[in-house]
Structure 1
Amino acid sequence: MHASLFGGSIEAVYTTSAEQQHAGHPIQIMKLENLAIENTLEKVSKLLAVYLETKEPTLKEGIQKQLALLGEFDKHYARKEYAIFPIMENKGITAPPKVMWGVDDDIRAMYKGFKTLLQKEDFAAIPKAFSDLKYEMTEMITKEEDILLPMIIDIFNEDHWLQIAEESEEIGYCIVKPEAKWVPERSLPENVSHETQTIEANPYINFQTGHLTPHQLEKMLNNIPLELTFVDADNIVRYYNDNGEEKFFKRTSSAIGRDVLNCHPPKSLPIVTKLLADLKSGAKESESMWFRAMGKFILVTYRAVRDDDGNYMGTLEYVQDIQPIIDLDGEKRTLS
């Protein structure tokens, strides 16, 4: 990743404020996790060197345990992609997040590839695969601390860091957990662009088939066993539901008001762009995909939403685990 994309030198110097040095601040969490990633890589490296000589099964098990721990780097990267990058884009910094996200995905693929080689005991390919993975992960640590942080530290205000800290809780942490919850002296965010306004009045919303209060509608949508996301006709993310459970596709409040194309890794942009164009033009009214991931059988459906005159209003995405449905057998006509 070229430093020129970040508008400055890789030797950029920056200082953190006293507030940013507190335990639990997103900057401190990023640095602590990077240390943990480096330490875990070193443990894998030492175990692997002995394992390649002895082929001892217990060493392989030890490596796999360390790899499971190392795999939490995905949460570290996800916090950049879903909590930090949206704010950068709002500040007009668009190219660096796309480049870094692409490298993040390359590292994810390298990690999965190395795990597969280890499982298959492909001793000829294992050394280079791990060497490449370790190099790229170490390089990413340098890019985060010497390029990314210097770029954002002076343009992110306390409100932004509070937003990132809150969304980090949703996404999760990597290897180490925060020592404490960061609570600045002024803990109430102000003027964060994506925040929804408090509804003082609570009138009914009238539909053709009934009426609901906003509170009832929100709770009803959050209880639907689907992950719902609505993107408007201009490809702006306007809504997602939240039942408090871990999502198949990560969503944070930073996504609201964001171009949906910026919510996806670079490698998937051609598919997303074509899908939205087809739904908007009427070439398709819906599209479904299904695959296995996270121990589940996931069905994703995209459906065009149109007004009474057929004008395109946006796209509704809904995601569900259909494995429990597939596993159904016989009939159930009585209460449990």
Structure 2
Amino acid sequence: MQEYAKDLPPDHPIRVYLEENEYLRDLLFQLHPLNPEVEYQLAYNLFNQIAQVDVRYTRKENQFFPFLEKRGWFGPSQGMWRFHDENRKLIREARKKIEARDFHGLKEDLDLLIGELLRMTEVEEFRLFPTALQILLPEDWEAMKLGEGEIGWMHKKTKEEPPAASTIADLKLPDGVFPFSEGRMTIEQVNMLLQAMPFDLTYVDETDRVVFYNRGAERVFPRSAGVIGREVRFCHPPKSVDTVLKILEEFRAGRRDVADFWINYRGRVVHIRYFAVRDAGKNYRGVIEVTQDVTEIQKLTGEKRLLDWS
């Protein structure tokens, strides 16, 4: 354990990262002397454990870097993330050879990977972590811990439940900003977000009445303010009512959580999905209907990795 971390609480993010590094180094030192062709299964098992470093990188990118940015240090987000991706690429390339039992150059590829992963741990321990301890405030570390368990750790096998909304609400927020289970926004931001969503969203509460719909620019099916408070059975064509009521019955009984359909509508392919809404106690609190025009999505083939607005 690094000297700067010895007095930190056991659950402090820096101590957890350092413990994770010790775990990772142990795996790397076990893999390094192996000949993967001769000791294939052991090398493969160790490699799979090492590949879980992706979980660690994801946690850094989503839980660590944002707090550094908040305090004015953008270097890790702009530079270290790129090295994360380069190491991920090395892992993907090595995996292809291992799983295909292609041993030509595999030992060299693994040695390169080991060296780069070790180099990253050194940068973390001698630059990233000490600097973070200097610039981050106690409340930053406490907030950081709240979401780490959702992503997980490479040296722990279980994830933690998301932080309770009440825990997030305890964080000091500016006036007009409201806490949500996964963040905080103003009412204006919530409305803009819902309107910008590329699908139609309708929320029916546990009494089977419509309480919300988003007013997007191009809705698939029309909605107007008069629908608010209306019983959902009267919001659908007569031929669809029995199906809607069946979905509500199954959701309310807890037997189902999802139902979906796809139809041809005015020359477009429309995907209609229903999702049960339940509170923390698994009690039924209604249903959301998500309707999306998937005509263009159905046409997707291959990959598109470059921006092209032509």
**TM-score, length-scaled by structure 2:** 0.53
Matching of residue 44 in structure 1 with residue 42 in structure 2: no
Change in CA separation of 1:93 and 1:287 when aligned onto 2, cut-off 3 Å = farther
Alpha-carbon deviation of 1:205?
A: 6.5
Alignment-derived partner of residue 4 in structure 2: 15
Indicate the SS of the match to 1:146.
helix
Q: How does 1:121-136 map to 2 (within 5 A)?
A: 121-136=101-116
Deviations 1:141-186 (CA, angstroms, capped at 9, x unpaired): 01111111122112212221122211111111112369x99xxxxx
Alpha-carbon deviation of 1:63?
A: 1.7
Amino acid at match of 2:26: N
Indicate the SS of the match to 1:197.
strand
Alignment-derived partner of residue 152 in structure 1: 132
Aligned-residue Cα RMSD (Å) equals: 4.4
Alpha-carbon deviation of 1:88?
A: 1.6
Q: How does 1:280-295 map to 2 (within 5 A)?
A: none
**TM-score, length-scaled by structure 1:** 0.49
Q: Distance in 2 between matches of 1:87 and 1:288?
A: 39
Which ranges of 4 or more aligned residues in structure 1 deviate by more than 4 Å? 204-208, 210-213, 223-226, 286-292
Quick one: which of 119, 123, 144 aligns to 1:143?
123
Change in CA separation of 1:88 and 1:116 when aligned onto 2, cut-off 3 Å = same
Alignment-derived partner of residue 107 in structure 1: 87
Number of residue pairs matched by the alignment: 202
Deviations 1:248-285 (CA, angstroms, capped at 9, x unpaired): xxxxxxxxxxxxxxxxxxxxxxxxxxxxxxxxxxxxxx
**Preserved contact between residue 40 and residue 66 of structure 1 (Cα < 8 Å):** yes
Q: Distance in 1 between matches of 2:125 and 2:20?
A: 12
**Preserved contact between residue 5 and residue 15 of structure 2 (Cα < 8 Å):** no
Change in CA separation of 1:205 and 1:120 when aligned onto 2, cut-off 3 Å = closer
Higher RCO (CA < 8 A, seq sep 6+): 1
Matching of residue 26 in structure 1 with residue 13 in structure 2: yes
Alignment-derived partner of residue 270 in structure 2: none
The structure whose Rg is larger is 2
Note the residue ranges of structure 1 that are not aligned, 5 or more in a row: 1-12, 182-186, 214-222, 227-242, 245-285, 293-297, 300-336
Deviations 1:192-239 (CA, angstroms, capped at 9, x unpaired): 67x95259xxxx7686634779xxxxxxxxx8899xxxxxxxxxxxxx
Q: Distance in 2 between matches of 1:147 and 1:289?
A: 47
Amino acid at match of 1:44: L
Note the residue ranges of structure 2 that are not aligned, 5 or more in a row: 162-166, 181-210, 216-222, 230-256, 261-276, 279-295, 305-310
Q: Distance in 2 between matches of 1:38 and 1:94?
A: 27
**Preserved contact between residue 32 and residue 176 of structure 1 (Cα < 8 Å):** no
